[in-house]
Amino acid sequence: MAEIKAPAERPLSPHLQIYRPMLTMMMSIVHRITGIGNYFGTLLLAWWLIAASAGPNAYAKFEWFAGSIIGRVILFGYTWSVIHHMLGGIRHLIWDTGRGFGPSEREWLAAANLVGSIAITVVLWIVGLLAMGGPR
C-alpha cells in the first residue's frame, strides 16, 4: 500500500484553552455536560419505574439508594442538571428565533440560566423534603 503522507503542519484554529473564560462560554460547556448527566440519569428513572412495577422488595432497594447520602447527592445533582439543561434549552429556543444575541441580552440570559437553575433546584428539594415529611 502506498504510504500516506503525514498532513502538513498547519496552524490550528484557537480552541478553549486560548480564550479567557466567559460566562456564556462556560454555560455552553455546562449545557453539554448537564446533557451528558441527564443521559445517564435516565438509568435512575428506569430503575425507579422498574422497581415500582416489580414489587415492594425491589422498591425498597431503590428507596434505600435514594435515601442514602450518596443517593441524595446524586439525585440533587440530577435535579439541578435537568433544570439547568431545561433552562439552557429554553435559551437555545429563544436563540432559534433570532433573538437574545445582543451583548447584554446573552449575558443576562446566561446569568438567569445559572441563578434560575440553582434557585429552582433548591425550591424543588425543599418542597420534596416537606412532602416526604408530610402526611402519607
Partner 1 sequence: MSDNVKHIRTPLARVRGRGAARSGTRDFWRQRLTAVANIPLTIAAIIIIIMLLGRNQAAVAQILGAPLVAIIMLLFVASVTVHMRIGMQVIIEDYVHDESTKLTLIMANTFFAIAVALASAFGILKLSFGV
- Asked whether the beta carbons of 100 and 91 are under 8 A apart, the reply is yes
Q: Which is nearer to partner 1, 42 or 68 (CB)?
A: 42
Pick the closest to residue 112 from 100, 124, 123 (CA basis).
100
Residues near partner 1, by CB under 8 A? 32, 35-36, 38-39, 42-43, 45-46, 49-56, 59-60, 82, 86, 89-90, 92-93, 96, 124, 127-128, 131-134, 136
Q: Looking at beta carbons only, is 89 or 107 nearer to partner 1?
A: 89
120 closest CA partner among 65, 81, 70:
81
* Residue closer to partner 1 (CB basis): 23 or 66: 66
* Length in residues, the chain: 136
